[in-house]
Structure formats: structure tokens, C-alpha cells
Amino acid sequence: MSITADASATVPSADDQRRPSPAVLIATLGTVGIVVSLMQTLVIPIIPLLPSLLNASAADASWVITAALLAGAVFTPISGRLGDMFGKRRVLLANLLMMIAGSVICGAFSSLVPEIIGRALQGAAIGAIPLGISIMRDELPAERVGSAMAIMSATLGVGGAVGLPAAAFIGQNADWHVLFWTAAGLGVLCAILVFVLVPESPVRTPSRFDFGGAVGLSIALLCLLIGITKGADWGWASPSILALFAISLLVFLGWGYFELRQRAPLVDLRVSARPRVLFTNLASIAVGFSLYAMSLSFPQLLMAPEGTGYGFGLTMVNAGLVLAPAGLVMMLLSPVSARLTAARGPKITLMLGAGVIAAGYLSAVVMMNGVWQIMLASIIVSGGVGLAYAAMPALIMGAVPITETAAANGLNSLMRSIGTSTSAAVMSVVLAHMTFAYAGHSLPSREGFHTTFFIAMSAAILAVALTACIPMGRKIEKAAI
């Protein structure tokens, strides 16, 4: 994948003549990003009901959640590479078609296996976000690229935050299948908008697809993420979990050796090992970890009974409404992040964003006595995430050839997914073990929530330290924005 941007890497298409205004392109791709990221929170309101709805055990029903996560992790880097090779718009449309198909399957059936298949197809569509970022870099004027990439990157968190109350409202007031039919309708709308308004990028990297690399990466990621997400259920020291981690490590090592010997690898490890790319991806894991801690702990805190001494007894809809402003703040701060990046560089912006996240969790520890305090903490955390997520594409794309932007952004999105997956496992273990008895039920304790906040704050501080290690050069930094 170490192919430079020369004449052979540029293949003009018929779409090259069709150029929408920058505002239309940004709005279209931003809408796609929000809709795709909605799939993350689509089923959260009905999680407690899934076993009865699907006539399955709680352990089996949890695969409806896990399937989307695993498919997103596997398909994101693959979609990016395919986009670089065959056209980003074409692969973006394919991602949306997978989301539509998955939504229709989930909406049409009420049994476990079809729901898992449908959710996997929905999760696979998350690769649309890094593809959208790369299309923006290829198509927009240089002065609009920074703010546009910031907006697109932030949609990964915005869609989840804004979608939670909407999904909760539908889940509580209509048949649960309506959630998926709504998702299918939104997917069709996005596909039409992309087909009509988004031109195909002329930047290509013609080569053979690395099937061996795709299979190896898929196996390694599946073993790793299944181990992370199922560790609490199966037991962290159980033979199954230990075997999954061992297989993942061995396959990753073999995959790395294989990729280094390919002329056109799925992931160019030599580029990925550049300090700027490497430390940005490591910081992305830490930021993703911090983000998901809020998504998991804040709703539980808001919905806990008032008799616990710390909870507020809100419904899922009301809890979602309390947290919805956080998603809007994330989007509003994206242009601010772009301006800060242009003025001070993406490294400073990423460090600032991670520092703001840490401050948000600290405020949650200090102020946990009112709904408005939790809302304020979520807004601060989301503001930091908005700054941090918006700076990552600028760092990545300033360090890779233009012919590899989709694949590089896909890998960066994968790092965020690994961070959120790890966070989900860690936070679930903490909240499941630091409990007390209330009205015959075991609920997380106040100390359990404090512990999750401290862990998330530590991850944000780690992100600051990792970002400080990113080397910056004047020439590269200018190219990034």
C-alpha cells in the first residue's frame, strides 16, 4: 500500500464533471455519518426486553449487540481499502445498502439468528464515516477541508447521543420492529442523497485486493473483541477467553509478517508505524475508551431509583433527553476544533480535547447530586470528544499518501472501536461487581460509578500523554489541514 500519488493512481470518472457546492457535500456526508452512527444506540432502549422478544437467553440475546460491534470493527478497515481501490462513493453506497438490508431483516423477523445477521449488516456500515472523511479531502477546496473533516469525524459520537432519546421514544411507544423500519427508511434516504449529490473521487490506488490480509485481520479482531466483550460473562480466566486472546495474538503476529511481505497490503504497517500515525491511533483508543464510559454509566446513573441515594429515577426517554445536548455540543464544537487546528495544529487540539474529557469526568465525581450536574458533566466530556475526534483525521491524513486516506482513516476508526469495546467490558465489570442490595435487586453503588469516572479520567490523561509524543513537522502539519 506504499503507492505514491502519481498519474497511474488517478482515474477520472464520469462523476468528475458533477460537483455540488461544498455546503451540500458536507451536509450530505454529515447526514450519512449521523444516520450510520445511530446504529450504535438503536437497540439500547430494548436491551432488557431482548430475551423475551427473541425467545432467547440473556447471554444469547447479547449477541444482537456484539454482532454490530464485531462487524463494524472488521469491515471498517476493509471498506477503507476497497474505497481507495475501487472508488469511495461506490463503497460508501455499498455500506449504506448493507445497513438497509440489515434493517429490513431485523424489522421483518422476531427470532435470534436473523436479528444477529441484521445487526451485523447494520454494524458493517460504520465504515461510511472514514470513507466520508476521505471523500471530503478529495473533493473540497483546501480552505473547507479542515472544518468538514471535523464535522464528519464528530458524527461518530453525535449520532449515538442524539439517537438515544429518539430510539427510546420509539421503543416505548411503538412495536420494537419500528426501530428497524425507521433505520431502513433513513438508510434509503441517505443512499439517494449520496447517489445524487456525491461525486466519485478521482483518486484511486489500482491494485489487487489483499484477501489474505483481510481474512487474517478479521480472525484476529474477532478473537480479540469477542474475548473483550464476553470476558465478564464467560470469566476472564476461563479457557475460552484465554484461548481467544492467545489465538488473537498469534494471528496478529502472523498477519503482520504477511502484510510486510505484500506489495499492496490491506494495511501498510510501515506507514502505520510512523510515530505520528502510531501515537495518534494509540491516543484514539484511549479517547474511545473515555467516550464509551459516559455512554454506559451516565444513563444508568440517571435511571437508578431515587431511593439509592444517588439515582434520579428517570425513564429511558428522559435520560436520553438529558444526555442529548451533549451530542449537539459535540457537533457545534467541530468547527471550533477545525479553527484551533488551523491556528495551533491538530496535536494541540487533540491534547486539549483529551484534557477537557478528563475535566468532565472529574466534575462528574465532584458534582453528582442533581440532573443538571450530570448534564453538565456529559456536555463537558462530549465537548472534549468533539475536539479530539475532529483533530484525529488531520493528524492521520497529514502523514499518509493521498491514495491511502480511506484505509488510514478506516484504521483510525478501528482504533476508536477497540477503545469503546474495551471500555464496555471494563465498565461493565466495575458496575457489576461494585454493587449493593436495593429492593431485592443488585444495583451499582455510588463508589462503582465514581470508579468508572476515575478510570475514564485516567484514560483521557493517558491520551494527553500519548498525544504529547506525536512528532509534528511544519510541512506535514500544513498538509493535514
Average pLDDT, integer, range 173-191: 94
Average pLDDT, integer, range 155-177: 80
- pLDDT at res. 480: 39
Of 146-160, 224-238, 422-436, 458-472, give the lowest mean pLDDT range: 146-160
Q: Is the pLDDT of residue 474 over 70?
A: no
Average pLDDT, integer, range 194-201: 90
> In terms of C-beta density within 10 A (0-12 exposed, 13-18 middle, 19 or more buried), how is residue 114 classed?
middle
- pLDDT at res. 477: 40
Q: Judge whether 1 lies within some domain.
A: no
Q: Judge whether 278 lies within some domain.
A: yes
- 3-state SS, residue 358: helix
Give the span between the Cα atoms of 151 and 97, in whole angstroms: 23
Q: Judge whether 2 lies within some domain.
A: no
- Please name the residues in contact with 176: beta carbons below 8 A apart, sequence gap of 6 or more: 46, 49, 53
Query: How many domains, the chain?
Result: 2
Q: Judge whether 33 lies within some domain.
A: yes
Kindly write down the DSSP assignment for every residue of 394-454, as one continuous string.
HHHHTSS-GGGHHHHHHHHHHHHHHHHHHHHHHHHHHHHHSEEEETTEEEE-HHHHHHHHH
Dihedral (CA of 47, 48, 54, 58) sign = positive
Give the span between the Cα atoms of 373 and 375, in whole angstroms: 5
The cell for 162 is: 442524539
Q: Is the pLDDT of residue 219 over 50?
A: yes
> Contact 66/226 with Cβ under 8 angstroms?
yes
Q: Judge whether 149 lies within some domain.
A: yes
Per 3-state DSSP, the chain is made up of helix, strand and coil in percentages (nearest 5) of 80, 0, 20
Query: Exposure string (b/e) for 278-296, b if CB count within 10 Å is 16 or more?
Result: bbbbbbbbbbbbbbbbbbb
The cell for 344 is: 495551533
CB atoms within 10 A of CB 275: 12
Average pLDDT, integer, range 197-210: 82
Q: What share of the chain has pLDDT > 70, as a percent?
A: 94
> Contact 406/131 with Cβ under 8 angstroms?
yes
Q: Is the pLDDT of residue 183 over 90?
A: yes
Domain assignment of residue 332, given as a range: 7-210+262-480
Indicate if 465 and 383 belong to the same structural domain: yes
Among 11-25, 337-351, 357-371, 432-446, the range with the most confident prediction by mean pLDDT is: 357-371
Indicate if 333 and 218 belong to the same structural domain: no
- Please name the residues in contact with 297: beta carbons below 8 A apart, sequence gap of 6 or more: 427, 431, 449, 452, 453
Indicate if 222 and 193 belong to the same structural domain: no
Indicate if 165 and 233 belong to the same structural domain: no
- pLDDT at res. 18: 58
Indicate if 167 and 216 belong to the same structural domain: no
- Please name the residues in contact with 113: beta carbons below 8 A apart, sequence gap of 6 or more: none
Average pLDDT, integer, range 347-376: 93
10 DSSP β-pair partners: 203
> Who wins on pLDDT, 182 or 230?
182
> Who wins on pLDDT, 400 or 50?
50
Average pLDDT, integer, range 355-365: 95
The per-residue pLDDT of the chain, averaged, comes to 85
Q: Is the pLDDT of residue 7 over 80?
A: no
479: confidence class by pLDDT, cuts 50, 70, 90: very low
Give the span between the Cα atoms of 42 and 165, in whole angstroms: 10
Indicate if 87 and 133 belong to the same structural domain: yes
Indicate if 247 and 295 belong to the same structural domain: no
- pLDDT at res. 4: 38
Dihedral (CA of 309, 310, 312, 316) sign = negative
Give the span between the Cα atoms of 222 and 6, in whole angstroms: 36
CATH number at residue 406: 1.20.1250.20
Of 95-99, 156-160, 220-224, 296-300, give the lowest mean pLDDT range: 156-160
Indicate if 181 and 32 belong to the same structural domain: yes
Of 233-237, 239-243, 395-399, 450-454, give the lowest mean pLDDT range: 395-399
Q: In the listed set 261, 294, 329, which residue is the last one of a domain according to the structure?
A: 261
Indicate if 312 and 251 belong to the same structural domain: no
The phi-psi region of residue 87 (left if phi > 0; otherwise alpha if psi is between -120 and 50; otherwise beta) is: left
Global pTM? 0.81
The amino acid occupying position 325 is: P
Q: In the listed set 224, 246, 261, which residue is the last one of a domain according to the structure?
A: 261
Indicate if 135 and 269 belong to the same structural domain: yes
Give the span between the Cα atoms of 110 and 99, in whole angstroms: 18
76: confidence class by pLDDT, cuts 50, 70, 90: confident
103: confidence class by pLDDT, cuts 50, 70, 90: very high
- pLDDT at res. 15: 46
Give the span between the Cα atoms of 143 and 1, in whole angstroms: 28
The amino acid occupying position 299 is: P
Q: Is the pLDDT of residue 162 over 80?
A: no
Indicate if 363 and 445 belong to the same structural domain: yes
Indicate if 242 and 358 belong to the same structural domain: no
- pLDDT at res. 473: 62
